[in-house]
Amino acid sequence: MTTILVTGASGFVGRRFVKRWGNDYHLLLPSHSELNICSEASVSAYFHTHRPDVVLHLAALSNTGYCEQHPDESFKVNVLGTQHLAENAAKCAAKFIFFSSDQIYNGNWEEGPLSEDMPVAPENHYGKHKLEAEQRMMQANAEAVALRATWMYDADNPEFPPHADFATNFARAIAEGTPLRFATREYRGITWVAEVVENLPHTFSLPGGVYNFGAENHLNTYQTACRYFKMLQCRLPLSEIVLADTERFPEHIRNISISNQKITQASAGAIRFNDTLKGFKRFLEVHR
Ligand SMILES: NC(=O)c1ccc[n+]([C@@H]2O[C@H](COP(=O)([O-])OP(=O)(O)OC[C@H]3O[C@@H](n4cnc5c(N)ncnc54)[C@H](OP(=O)(O)O)[C@@H]3O)[C@@H](O)[C@H]2O)c1
């Protein structure tokens, strides 16, 4: 059985990965004290003892606002933690899969779906640190894979801690009758986490490199929210729940919407995502 070391297994993606794939793989799920990713010595000792076949690196400071306020901490966890794991995975020939982010594109001014070979200059610490982590990872480990994930959502599930995301924010807003504001000057993919988790095992055989990994979406975030609201078939009027925010991102349109062409080709079609609207439809078929 393939042994997978999962970092960040207690997080949003990690818990869902463990639930979906826990019977198919031998999973190593160390606590922070068993594996301190910020310490090279701790990582090296852990790999020496456990020798995983695959490392799925989900651990991160994932809140962009927190990283902006605490850049040193973000650097230690998001950059150095990734580097330590990538180096040690290379030493024991383990496949290294790192969750990067579409926030890497948040300084880009281009329109349309963005590809991995575009020059990038992220504007916030989170995006900068994810980019630096990718670069250090590739330097340490040419077979490593970075997945630039989009914003993910799921339904509230009593098995897991509550999570604020696109779908749960909507559910709460409708229950409380409080409106949500969505930017008209923003383009991004929004992905059901179940699709991410389902595709993950196929990433273990990808050639080393950086890949976009999530739903494509050609609508702006306000248009996307309007379409989701309609699919919910809610009795409230749209204008009571979905408001257009036309002022956010005044400098340039914030386009972080991805193209999946590279990963689809590299996996010979094994890795596939619905676009954001089709993903909503599938999600609501299961969770309405
Ligand atoms: N969720 C999204 O929409 C999204 C979008 C794009 C990219 N991503 C990326 O995808 C990955 C998974 O995201 P997520 O939403 O599952 O994140 P999450 O819910 O915030 O979980 C982060 C995990 O990292 C662990 N962690 C934090 N600091 C750590 C440290 N110093 N040492 C070891 N573990 C540490 C946390 O453990 P504790 O709970 O014990 O603190 C938790 O298990 C992250 O790399 C994130 O940046 C997420």
Per-residue pLDDT of the chain (288 residues; tens, 9 = 90+): 999 999 999 999 999 999 999 999 999 999 999 999 999 999 999 999 999 999 999 999 999 999 999 999 999 999 999 999 999 999 999 999 999 999 999 999 999 999 999 999 999 999 999 999 999 999 999 999 999 999 999 999 999 999 999 999 999 999 999 999 999 999 999 999 999 999 999 999 999 999 999 999 999 999 999 999 999 999 999 999 999 999 999 999 999 999 999 999 999 999 999 999 999 999 999 998
pLDDT one-digit tens code per residue, 91-130: 999 999 999 999 999 999 999 999 999 999 999 999 999 9
Residue to mutate (ligand 1; options 27, 43, 56, 58; most atoms within 8 A of CB): 58
Q: How many angstroms does the Cα of residue 60 sit away from the middle of ligand 1?
A: 4
In angstroms, rounded to a whole number, what is the distance separating the alpha carbons of residues 85 and 97?
10
Distance (Å) of CA 236 to CA 59, 190, 233, 283: 39, 23, 9, 21
Q: Which of 231, 201, 199, 202 is nearest to 215 (CA)?
A: 199
Q: In this structure, what are the phi and psi dihedrals at residue 258, rounded to the nearest 5 degrees?
A: -100, 160
Q: Which two tokens stand for residue 151?
A: 């914003």
Give the position, in ligand 1's atom list, of the atom nearest the Cα of 62: 47
Helix (H) or strand (E) run with residue 180 in it: strand 180-183
Catalogue all structural domains in the chain, each as residue range(s) with its CATH number.
Answer: 3-151+191-216+260-273 (3.40.50.720)
Does the model's pTM come out above 0.75?
A: yes
Q: How many angstroms does the Cα of residue 11 sit away from the middle of ligand 1?
A: 5
Q: Is the CB of 214 under 6 A from ligand 1?
A: no
**Residue that is written with structure tokens 């594109």 in the block:** 105
